[in-house]
Structure 1
Amino acid sequence: MSSAAPEFADELPDDPLFVQALGRAMRVMEAFQKAERPLSLAEIAAATGITRSAAQRIVHTLRKLGYLRMAPDGRGFLPDLAVLNLTYDYLRLNPLIRRASAPLLELRRTVRERVDLSLFDGQRMVYASRLQSKREMFFATLVGHSVPTYCTSGGWAVMAMLPDDEVDQLLAAADMRALTPRTLTDPDAIRAQIALVRQNGHALAFEQILMGEIALGVAIADPAGRPVAAIHVAASLAEWEPEEFRRRIAPLAAEAALAISR
């Protein structure tokens, strides 16, 4: 990038209340969202579109505040514990998550499979609560992990509560990639699943995110009837026949979603 190029041209330059320096600092933190290892200053600068000098100043400030730390080998930076303080505050102050705690625990005790609560964020569903089963991979245990709206049971359930024009906008803007050989990426096929949700009241997804996994999703609405979240119940196809899973899980998940909505 040329040193004369404007930094963060999309940072609402006409908004007099927008703090450019704070925006840059948040972009530095966001650079770690897809990272698989510590990031160097050069990598942070490239990911955020700021100069290396600006990245150095921001990283230094964030380290002083406890939001970043040096990697153990000294070759890059990682998020630090202060980030968890913000996560904790978000979770404890979110009324939907607080309200969902008891119904989700009861659902998990009853079904004895993984139960997740995900929040609708446009193109992604972000996990805010994860109650594990006996078999999980590391990423499936983490709050904050997100999955695409277009290929998840919870995403289909959420889209089923939206008007068709909003569904069309979401699908048109989605970066549709096949996460497994069975992931649906054809908009018409996804619309067919949404139609089934409107008919059945729940979504049933097969191997959309993980091979061998079946997942049932039910949307949660706000007081205005807009979808804001979803319950996912996920299990192994080696242990469940699909229709038995639907028959057993769908009424329980719907009951939990209704309790949370109320």
Structure 2
Amino acid sequence: MSDSVLAAVKSADRVLDLLELLAHAGREMSHSEIAEILQIPKSSLSQLLKNLIARGYVEGTVNGRGYRVGEALLSLSQSAGRMRDLATQSETFLADLTQKTGESSALNLLRGDDAEVAATILGPHRLVTHMRLGDLAPLYATSGGKAILAYMPGDFQKEYFARVQFERATPKTIHSVKVLRQEIEKIRTKGFAYSHEEWTPGIIGIGVPVLDPAGEPLGAINVAIPASRFNPEMQRKAEHALIQTRDDLLRHLLLRPRLKRGDIESRRD
């Protein structure tokens, strides 16, 4: 391993050690105290703290003599908690969605450039589509993936459009950035994402995003309908049920106690 790689690894370890120390401590710590415990040269520690403070992961105390966990780290922890809640709490709501529509339903979460099935309920019909836990599909190909992509921050979308490589799962799979951009605009206008046999032949998906209070996607829920049962009445029924289920799920999640300063420390006691 080269010296530059070793230096980068060492620096990363120091950042993690520093954050873990502050989180475990449950109190503000002085510059000298941190340097002594972590055995970091004070000059190196000053630079680490400067970078972490700039990103909001560490913050200085009012008197400027101590440091503690910053709001950005608390926000990350809260976001991770919401994602876990979303996966574990969604099955009850998906079961209700499947009962209302008679079709298989799923919760999708972002995994790199894919959408992953994190929870799913199988429909009651003999002819159904199986959305298995852990299944991955490109964001551009499924209704859940498109619903997530449409509400991702602009920087993410810009980078995604620059790197995406389309693979045709079916003859109807989207295969150009231009078409995908047009579809995303429609999703943001109507609030619904569709996949018309673009990932699985004979299956039409309808999805809606699950957005956090800042308007960014926590994930998406969708139903998968065999084309033989899809018609305007079924579409209206599914769209209404998706919105109702999404709103009920969000109401449930957001009414749960949110992470506050001190929780991250107390959980480690």
With the shorter chain as reference, the TM-score category is: 0.5 to 0.7
Give the superposition deviation at 1:12.
Answer: 8.1
C-alpha deviation, 1:207, in angstroms: 0.7
Within 5 A, what are the aligned runs for 1:97-116?
Answer: 97-116=87-106
From 211, 229, 233, the counterpart of 1:244 = 233
The CA distance in 2 between the partners of 1:163 and 1:176, in whole Å, is 21
Query: What is the CA-CA distance between 1:176 and the residue it aligns to?
Result: 1.3
Deviation of residue 165 (structure 1)? 3.9
Q: State the alpha-carbon separation in 1 of the partners of residues 168 and 7 from structure 2.
A: 37
Return the TM-score normalized by structure 1.
0.62
Aligned residue in 2 for 1:67: none
Q: Which residue of 1 aligns with 2:157?
A: 167
Determine helix, strand or coil for the equivalent of 1:185.
Answer: coil
Describe the SS at the equivalent of 1:247.
helix
- Unaligned ranges ≥5, structure 2: 14-79, 252-269
The answer on 1:258 being equivalent to 2:258 is no
Distance 2:133 2:102 in 1: 19
The structure with the largest helix share of the pair is 2
Looking at CA atoms only, which structure, 1 or 2, has the larger radius of gyration?
Answer: 2
Q: How much has 1:191 moved relative to structure 2? A: 1.0
AA of the residue aligned to 2:240: P
Q: Deviations over 1:237-257 (max 9, x none)?
A: 11212x333211111101111
Partner of 2:9: helix, strand, or coil?
coil
Contact 1:126-1:144 within 8 A present in 2 as well:
yes
> Higher RCO, 1 or 2 (CA under 8 Å, sep at least 6)?
2
Q: Which runs of 5 or more residues in structure 1 are unaligned?
A: 1-5, 20-89
Matched AA of 2:207: G
- Contact 1:204–1:246 at 8 Å: present in 2 too? no
The answer on whether the counterparts of 2:106 and 2:131 sit within 8 Å (CA) in structure 1 is no
State the TM-score, normalized to the length of structure 2: 0.61
CA RMSD of aligned residues (A): 2.9
Within the candidate set 125, 128, 146, 2:136 is matched to: 146
Mapped partners of 2:88, 2:237: distance in 1: 26
2:175 is aligned, of 181, 185, 191, to 185
Contact 1:178 1:184 in 2 (8 A): yes
Identical columns (%) = 26
Closer, same or farther in 2 for the Cα pair 1:184/1:141, shift >3 Å? closer
Q: Distance in 2 between matches of 1:190 and 1:111?
A: 27
- Output the CA distance in 2 between the equivalents of 1:167 and 1:201: 17
Distance 1:247 1:105 in 2: 19
2-structure distance, mates of 1:103, 1:252: 11
Q: Is the 8 A contact 1:12 1:18 kept in 2?
A: no
Deviation at 1:172, TM superposition (A): 1.8
User: Secondary structure of the residue that 1:254 maps to in structure 2?
Assistant: helix
CA deviation digits over 1:126-181, x for unaligned, max 9?
Answer: 101111123356xx342111111122111221122234443222122223111101
Instruction: State the match for 2:8 in structure 1.
Output: 14
The runs of at least 4 aligned residues of structure 1 exceeding 6 Å deviation read none
Cα deviation code 1:104-139 (max 9, x no counterpart):
1111111111101111123011101111123356xx
Question: Would you say 1:221 and 2:215 are equivalent positions?
Answer: no
Cα distance between partner residues in 1 of 2:112 and 2:227: 29
